[in-house]
Amino acid sequence: MSARAPGAELEVRALSKTYLWGGRELPTLERVELTAHAGEFIALIGPSGCGKSTLFHILAGLESPGSGEVLIDGRPLQRRLGAFAFMPQRDALLPWRRMIDNVTIGLEIAGVRRAAARAQAAPLLERFGLGGFEAAWPWQLSGGMRSRAAFLRTVLLGKPAMLLDEPFGALDGITRAELQQWLLEVWGEVGSTVALITHDVAEAVFLADRVYVMTPRPGRIATVIEIDLPRPRTLATAESPQFGAHEARVREALRAHSRTATITA
């Protein structure tokens, strides 16, 4: 694949964030620590409102951290906007741009000419299941295709680390399972470091090298669970007893830290 973006090591050190809400302090993130070694895939899981998305917004530069540090390859990151390839929860495809112009928008913003950007995207379209749909408007694409287009847009940014915020949250179960498998293959080819937010325990275990379980607000890292399932992972992986055991550990960790002691995840 021509879009190789060798991964960088991503570290988050003692990141905290407190909002002011009607004059009162609302601690949202508390001393969050994450490490993704170069080319690793980590997943963050936690109940709604635990600050996962806030954490990604801080990493991507959309919000300022209260305190703490973000390091790339051991060096503190000076300018976070433009440093990561961010994929938001909803695919955020621009309705007035045809598929090909949606996937190349990041290149266009970086100053790449339209023709050159399209040429860069062209060899990847087949791999992303988008071949022949270059001229389609977003509303004409299926949910799975929209997600793949949004992911191609993310890959084409060519950043050493990707932040995926519930990329498959809006999809049905069948499409979702297909895309998880496919995502792993593509990630293997691209080689970049990935941090993923999810609500789905099986998704986290299937995709990640390490799962960070977060507590309800204020969000802290409750437990870190290493997922030592061999790669490449396939459907058979998901049916193995080891997979079940990992899932159970993540579920247990979520339950232990949930506010109400009943967990839906």
DSSP H helices in the chain: 52-60, 99-103, 105-109, 114-125, 143-156, 173-190, 201-207, 235-238, 241-257
b/e 210-247 (16+ beta carbons within 10 angstroms → b): bbbbbbbbbbbbbbebebebeeebeeebbeeeebeebb
Contact letters for other proteins, residues 33-72 (x by CB under 8 A): ------------------------x--xxx----------
> Nearest approach, Cβ of 102 to other proteins (angstroms)?
11
Task: Decide: helix, strand or coil at residue 153.
Answer: helix
Token pair in block for residue 149: 């287009």
By beta-carbon proximity to other proteins, the closer residue of 62 and 263 is 62
Q: Which of 51, 88, 144, 160 binds other proteins (CB under 8 A)?
A: 88
Give the footprint of other proteins on residues 152-171 (CB under 8 A).
157
The one segment of 83-91, 193-201, 208-216, 236-244 that binds other proteins by CB under 8 A? 83-91
Q: Is 139 in the site for other proteins (CB under 8 A)?
A: yes
Tell me: does residue 86 bind other proteins (CB under 8 A): yes
Q: Would you say 69 and 14 are in contact if contact means Cβ atoms under 8 Å apart?
A: yes
Q: How far apart are CA 238 and CA 236, in angstroms?
A: 5
Q: What angle do CA 161, 105, 207 make, to 5 degrees?
A: 35
End-to-end CA distance of the chain: 35
Candidate residues 4, 90, 255, 259; the one interacting with other proteins per rule CB under 8 A: 90
**Which residue in 20, 74, 96, 228 binds other proteins (CB under 8 A)?**
96
By CB under 8 A, name the one of 1, 94, 245, 256 that touches other proteins: 94
Per CB under 8 A, 23 contacts other proteins: no
Contact residues: other proteins, CB under 8 A = 57, 60-62, 81-82, 84, 86, 88-90, 92, 94-97, 105-106, 109-110, 135-140, 157
